[in-house]
Amino acid sequence: MAVRDIRIVGDPVLRTRCEEITTVDDGVRSLVADLIETVDADGRAGLAANQIGVSLRAFSWNVDDEVGYVLNPRIVDLSTEEYQDGDEGCLSVPGLWFPTERAWYARVEGIDLDGNPMVVEGEDLMARCLQHECDHLDGMLFLDRLERSVRKHAMREVRERF
Query: Which residues does 125 contact at the CB level (< 8 Å), separation at least 6?
Result: 45, 63, 64
Report whether 113 contacts 28 (CB < 8 A).
yes
Active site residue 147: no
SS3 105: strand
The region that residue 139 occupies, defined by phi over 0 for left and psi between -120 and 50 for alpha, beta otherwise, is left
Cα separations (Å) of 137 from 30, 72, 73?
A: 18, 9, 9
Catalytic residue among 82, 109, 133, 157, which?
133
Instruction: Count Cβ atoms below 10 Å from residue 142 Cβ, excluding itself.
Output: 22
State the greatest distance between any 2 C-alpha atoms of the chain, in Å, as a whole number: 45
Identify each DSSP E strand in 14-82 by its residue range. 46-48, 58-63, 66-78
Residues known to be catalytic: 133
